[in-house]
Amino acid sequence: MATLSLRNLVKTYGDTQVLHGINLEIGSGEFVVLVGPSGCGKSTTLRMIAGLEEITAGEVHIAGRVVNNLEPKDRDIAMVFQNYAIYPHMSVRKNIGFGLRTAKISAKDKLGRLEEVAEILGLGELLDRKPSQLSGGQRQRVAIGRAMVRNPAAFLFDEPLSNLDAQLRTQMRLEIKKLHQRVGNTIVFVTHDQVEAMTMADRIVIMKDGHIQQVGSPLDVFYNPANMFVAQFIGAPSMNLMPGVWSNGAVSLDKGGLVPATGVKIRQGASVVLGLRPDDLRVTQEAGLFTGTVEVTEPLGSETLVHVSAGGQEIIAKAAGKHPPVLGSSVHLTASPDALHLFDKNTGEALL
């Protein structure tokens, strides 16, 4: 277990800068998820922590010491890769034991460690198999096992669940979270999947184009997104965003409609973007904020996504699963005032 801190981390490849000063403090035993669209620099950040990528500028601290110039093996970290990186020509036992090859402990202790890890991960029966004889989930467990035997200061995961099918992904998500609760090591986990990020993280770091957009707990980034990007990225389906102009305590939407929004300190006539999560919109028969016709419904069982066309803009709302509004019918949408998000149209920063 160890703290980990990134100070002003910069990475350039030739002339292109891919990380623009990443600052992040990670507490001991914390589970931090880096999330963002593909190409935003998550892997690069992780690989710089691991020592697989040279640090252009800035510092990486692990357990209080600067590791910029240390080899990966001397940084006391372990990494789990997307394609597992377990060696096809070695048995499960050898693969897991591989992490201990260079460890300076007795053979008996090594065996003990190996067995303990195999036990925790439920791999005891499979130790003599080759990776080709394992399922995707089992392979990923072997990869995690290899990282675990060394009992490193921090685990780094780079999209470890992306190659698994949806059901297995959900299951492994839970397993990794349980594992963290059990062993308590510091974890930095990279994913492009916001659901993974929300469900696993103690803290989420949302990145875009080599910049950190927001750092916060899952609920924090969901309910108080710092900007429009975070608001859209977190939560599915995405937040409805509607541009408009603010004046006299209300937003007059470009495509029609007036939505009261008080408590903001901006100048009259400022261009803003109004945000409303589908979850916060209720479909009613009484008059509400918006009126429109139901264009499409997507039943998900417990709820139904309703796409409403209101004055030229499409708004998504969640309705009850059992008796969703009829296609083509006219409906009203309402939301409680505190569900409202307001962003500066030019900077994208949250105003409310």
Partner 1 sequence: MRMADTPIQAPTQSLLADRTTGPRRSHGQYIRWVLLMFGGIVMVMPIAYMLATSFKYSFEVHTLSLIPQEPTLENYLFVLEDGRFYTWFGNSLFIATVTTLSNVLFDSLVGYALCKFRFPGRYIFFIAVLSTLMIPTEMLVIPWYLMSSTLGWLDTSWGIMFPGLMTAFGTFLMKQFFETVPDDFLEAARIDGLNELQIWWTVAMPLVKPALAALAIFVFLGNWTAFIWPLIVTTSQDMYTLPVGLTTFSDEVDVEWELIMTGAAISTIPTLIVFVIFQRFIIRGVVMAGLKG
- Angle, helix 136-148 to helix 107-120, in steps of 10 degrees: 140
Residue 137 burial (C-beta neighbours within 10 Å; 0-12, 13-18, 19+): middle
* Contact mark string toward Mg ion, 23..52, x via CB under 5 A: --------------------x---------
| The total number of residues written for the chain in this structure | 352
Q: Which of residues 65-124 bind partner 1 (CB under 8 A)?
A: 71-73, 77-79, 81-83, 85, 87-89, 98-99, 101-102
3-state class of 97 per DSSP? helix
CB of 56 to partner 1, least distance (A): 16
CB of 15 to partner 1, least distance (A): 17
CB of 142 to partner 1, least distance (A): 12
DSSP string, 204-222: EEEEETTEEEEEE-HHHHH
Is the CB of 41 or the CB of 292 nearer to ligand ADP? Answer: 41
Cβ–Cβ under 8 Å, residues 150 and 110: no
Residue 72's binding partner out of Mg ion, ligand ADP, partner 1, none, with CB under 5 to 8 Å set by partner kind: partner 1
Cα(56)–Cα(118) distance, integer angstroms = 39
- Nearest-10 Cα torsion for 212, 190, 15, 58: 60
DSSP string, 274-314: EEE-GGG-EEESS--SEEEEEEEEEE-SSEEEEEEEETTEE
Q: Which of residues 21-50 bind partner 1 (CB under 8 A)?
A: 50
Residue 98's binding partner out of ligand ADP, Mg ion, partner 1, none, with CB under 5 to 8 Å set by partner kind: partner 1
* Contact mark string toward ligand ADP, 38..57, x via CB under 6 A: xxxxxxx-------------
Residue from 8, 13, 135, 326 touching ligand ADP (CB under 6 A): that is 13
Residue 13's binding partner out of partner 1, ligand ADP, Mg ion, none, with CB under 5 to 8 Å set by partner kind: ligand ADP
Cα(72)–Cα(82) distance, integer angstroms = 18
Footprint on this chain of partner 1 (rule: CB under 8 A): 50-52, 71-73, 77-79, 81-83, 85, 87-89, 98-99, 101-102, 146, 150
Footprint on this chain of ligand ADP (rule: CB under 6 A): 13, 18, 36, 38-44
